[in-house]
């Protein structure tokens, strides 16, 4: 069933797939003609693989379920491997759950549409939430091993992907209560690693209500905190450096339903000196009409400028749940501007759209997933945005 566009400027919808009626899309990534989609968890689906050789007519090739009481909503592809997280789901169950799977499944991609699982790294605890891996020996991730209050930052060694090993851990002091540490933050203040992206020797780590932690990861086996920065607002999600510019774009994830959910924004941080990050400003928010809607309205994910994708340190792509896709021009950090957007109609079975994650491929096509029932959408930039993207590409 096709979902129509409700509002658009600068981009247009060219294709969609409802993922066989299991449209709870989460992380999306393209590799050649294969598109990999992790599912949020509500349908029980785990991972879908689509053939997008014709982007206007994506075809579902494979789809497998997540293990019981588990979601596998993140995908990372590099070096001929696919990494998929395993994490307990729901996050906050209303009744006791049975056994769940916790860790990272590793697949070989000799056949991109038929991955072969070659190993599984057991994390213990609640499992792994988000993985950051662009190839090489070490993969980084957030997860909750046994003995910790919440998610910490983990590194696994993939030198032998058939036999992955834990290589390093970093956590906020007080999280390791199983090791005798004591929590010293207020009740209701969440201290939890979410997602870290690196530039040079530094990793910029979103730490939920604690906001930003900067780690020196010159030695990936011994990460070392060098600075922190806090601001008004919590649930810090992604901290993405704009390479070579001394700037960091940060999303605070909206985790509350509306109407009038707690305000979350996208922030711009000065990291010219990573040991002394400095808050600059927020990026423009969509118009306030979205705040009147049910479900989530606010930021979530950024396109992360991965290798083998579209890369820019000026044009930034973000999902904004009910406000869809938002595109910003940060050429002048003193005057960030929204330059394009796309919002779908409510997909069948959902009261509103919930744009969840996105990936801008090397052909400048924009792939957006819907958290509710919409599946995955393919968008194409209109000529003016396409020209700017070409000019701003790294």
DSSP state for residue 298 in the 8-state scheme: S
Residue closest to 132 by CA, chosen among 302, 323, 267: 302
The H helix count followed by the E strand count for the chain is 1, 31
Task: Please state the domain extents for the chain.
Answer: 5-69+134-392
Cα dist from 259 to 5, 104, 289, 356, whole Å? 22, 36, 10, 18
Reduce the DSSP state of residue 389 to 3 states and report it.
helix
Which residues, other chains included, contact 225 with Cβ-Cβ below 8 Å and sequence gap of 6+? 170, 213, 214, 215, 216
The stretches in the chain having pLDDT less than 70 are 1
41 touches 101 (CB < 8 A):
no
For residue 259, cis peptide bond before it (omega within 30 degrees of 0) = yes
CA angle 48, 49, 51 (to 5 degrees): 145
Fold designation for 5-69+134-392: Methylamine Dehydrogenase; Chain H (2.130.10)
Residue closest to 18 by CA, chosen among 45, 32, 382: 45
**pTM for this entry:** 0.97
Handedness of CA 307, 308, 309, 314 (dihedral sign): positive
Q: How far apart are CA 195 and CA 103, in angstroms?
A: 16
Q: How far apart are CA 25 and CA 31, in angstroms?
A: 17
Q: Give the rounded distance of the alpha carbon of 219 from its chain centre.
A: 25
Give the helix/strand (H/E) hosting 390: helix 383-392
Note the pLDDT of residue 1: 62
Q: How far apart are CA 162 and CA 272, in angstroms?
A: 40
Give the burial class of 147: count Cβ atoms within 10 A of its Cβ; 0-12 exposed, 13-18 middle, 19 or more buried.
middle
Strand 224-229 and strand 81-88: the pairing is: unpaired
Q: How far apart are CA 328 and CA 318, in angstroms?
A: 8
Residue closest to 359 by CA, chosen among 283, 297, 305: 305
DSSP state for residue 276 in the 8-state scheme: S
Reduce the DSSP state of residue 124 to 3 states and report it.
coil
Q: How far apart are CA 193 and CA 225, in angstroms?
A: 13
264 touches 254 (CB < 8 A):
yes
What b-and-e string marks burial along 310-347, b requiring 16 or more CB atoms within 10 Å of the CB?
Answer: bbbbbbbbbbbbbbbbbbbbbeebeebebbbbbbbebb
């Amino acid at each position: 069933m096709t979902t129509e566009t409700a509002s658009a400027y600068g981009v247009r919808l060219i294709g969609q797939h409802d993922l066989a009626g299991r449209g709870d899309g989460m992380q999306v990534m393209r590799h050649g003609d294969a598109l990999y989609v992790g599912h949020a968890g509500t349908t029980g689906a785990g991972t879908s693989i689509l053939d997008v050789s014709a982007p206007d007519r994506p075809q579902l090739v494979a789809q497998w379920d997540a293990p019981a009481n588990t979601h596998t909503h993140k995908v990372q592809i590099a070096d001929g491997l696919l990494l998929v997280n395993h994490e307990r789901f729901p996050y906050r169950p209303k009744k006791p759950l049975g056994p769940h799977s916790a860790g990272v499944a590793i697949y070989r991609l000799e056949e991109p549409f038929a991955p072969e699982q070659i190993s599984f790294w057991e994390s213990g605890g609640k499992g792994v939430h988000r993985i950051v891996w662009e190839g090489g020996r070490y993969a980084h991730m957030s997860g909750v091993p046994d003995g910790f209050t919440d998610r910490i930052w983990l590194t696994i060694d993939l030198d032998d992907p058939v036999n992955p090993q834990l290589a390093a851990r970093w956590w906020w002091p007080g999280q390791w209560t199983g090791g005798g540490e004591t929590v010293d933050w207020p009740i209701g203040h969440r201290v939890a690693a979410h997602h870290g992206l690196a530039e040079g020797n530094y990793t910029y780590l979103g730490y939920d209500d604690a906001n930003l932690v900067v780690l020196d990861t010159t030695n990936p086996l011994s990460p070392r905190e060098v600075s922190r920065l806090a601001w008004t607002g919590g649930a810090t999600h992604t901290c993405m450096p704009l390479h070579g510019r001394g700037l960091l774009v940060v999303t605070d994830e909206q985790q509350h339903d509306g109407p009038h959910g707690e305000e979350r924004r996208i922030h711009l941080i000065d990291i010219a000196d990573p040991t002394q990050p400095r808050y600059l400003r927020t990026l423009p928010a969509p118009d306030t009409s979205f705040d009147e809607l049910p479900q989530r309205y606010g930021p979530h994910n950024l396109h992360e400028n991965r290798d083998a994708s579209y890369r820019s340190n000026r044009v930034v792509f973000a999902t904004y749940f009910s406000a869809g896709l938002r595109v910003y021009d940060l050429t002048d950090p003193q005057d960030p501007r929204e330059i394009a957007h796309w919002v779908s109609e409510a997909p069948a079975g959902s009261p509103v759209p919930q744009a969840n994650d996105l990936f801008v491929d090397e052909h400048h096509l924009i792939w957006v997933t819907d958290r509710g029932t919409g599946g995955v959408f393919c968008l194409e930039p209109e000529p003016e945005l396409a020209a700017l993207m070409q000019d701003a590409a790294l």
